[in-house]
Amino acid sequence: MVMRSLPVLVLGFMLASSAVAQSTTCQDAGGVLHDDGTFESGVGWSPFASTGEYVMRIDPPSPGRRVDAACICWVRDQTDTAIFFDVNVWAADGVGGKPGTLLGKLPTQLATSVAFTPKFYRYDLSALNIPANGSVYIGPKWSPSDDQHFFVCEDTNGPLQQPAYGGSSILGGPPSTALGQVGFFPDYRTLGIRAQFGAEIASCISSATDLCLNNNRFKVSATWRTADGQTGQGQAIPRTSDTGEFWFFASTNIEMVVKLLDACTFNPPHFWVFAGGLTNVQVTLTVTDTKTGAQKQYTNPLGKAFQPIQDVAAFTCP
């Protein structure tokens, strides 16, 4: 099966209707599944693709819950029994509700003893502390050239068609080609992807004066004072999931840029706060970790050029 918009051959794998192997499959407390429990096919990639990714939208029971686990159903049609892959979690904030912002990645996972019939594998995502503030897309990304003849289980006769997307590394960014359309698995209903959600976690709610950075975990605000006694709050402009800006006097006049990075894989592990200013008014920058309640303030004195902030030990992990 060939998609004109994809530069690689997309493969399908047909099965007799098969129930999944019994295992922990995210059906316990907080579990969400959209499939009907049986899978008749699978979706995969040509071995000529450098990487391929499939994700399906998962609708949590309520917003603000942590993504605790993903369960992925694999099936194969050749002798190799093990596959390495990453588990990606994307926000459903792309155009038209497509995958948009990458919320987290669980790298280099291994599924062993993959069978010729569908089988689920469970992966713990709780350490990533990803809040699902709405629907999220979850799925595997792997290298078909290294791990060939593997397929994500596909349901083709269920009552519900759950939004899902595929994409190769050549396209870049999140998967963007919808499953279920003519020429791209038109019989698709759901993928064998499930998720488990934990308790509600604190998260930032953006406003005109608050930036929400790093998966909405950190709230960033700023106040200012001029030499003649005027005071006010910085007006927030989000740019990316980790970066934003503030203006004080006019929206066309940016006064400060803030970046908050997850460096928890570094040694020592911390969240980093970087900021730069284009002002000499007094500024107080406040950063709050909504998960722990920890707070840090950075002050630029009145009449002094704003000095860069490079705090690489700002907040503890996870």
- 205 belongs to a structural domain: no
What pLDDT is stored for residue 145 in this prediction? 87
Look at residues 166, 200, 234 and tell me which one is the last residue of a structural domain: 200
pTM over 0.85? The answer is: no
Q: Are residues 305 and 218 in the same domain?
A: yes
Final residue belonging to a domain, choices 180, 200, 220: 200
Q: Over range 13-19, report the average pLDDT.
A: 62
Are 234 and 123 found together in one domain?
A: no
User: How far apart, in Å, are the Cα atoms of 269 and each of 9, 89, 130, 313?
Assistant: 41, 22, 17, 8
Domain membership flag for residue 230: yes
Core vs surface per residue 54-66: b (16+ CB within 10 A) or e: bbbbbebeeebbb
pLDDT at 273: 98
Same domain, 95 and 39: yes
Distances in Å between the Cα of 223 and the Cα atoms of 16, 203, 232, 297, 310 are 64, 21, 6, 11, 19
Do 249 and 133 fall into the same domain? no
Domain that holds residue 121: 10-200
Query: pLDDT, tens digit, for every residue of 193-251?
Result: 999 998 776 678 888 999 999 988 899 999 999 999 999 999 999 999 999 999 999 99
Residue 193 shares a structural domain with residue 286: no
- Could you tell me if 87 and 71 are in contact, meaning their C-beta atoms sit under 8 angstroms apart? no
Residues 182 and 236 in one domain: no
**Mean of pLDDT values over 285-307:** 91
What is the rounded CA–CA span in Å between residue 218 and residue 288? 5
Retrieve residue 163's tokens. Answer: 């939004």
Q: Residue 170 is part of a domain; what is its CATH number?
A: 2.60.120
**Average pLDDT of the chain to the nearest whole number:** 88
273 and 300, same domain (yes or no):
yes
Mean pLDDT across the stretch 105-126? 92
Same domain, 161 and 27: yes
What pLDDT sits at residue 315? 93
- 3-state SS class at 95: helix
CB 156: neighbour CB atoms within 10 A?
Answer: 19
Same domain (yes/no): 229, 187? no
Which residue is listed with tokens 């019989």? 187
Q: What domain count does the chain have?
A: 2
Asked if residue 22 and residue 152 are part of one domain, the reply reads yes
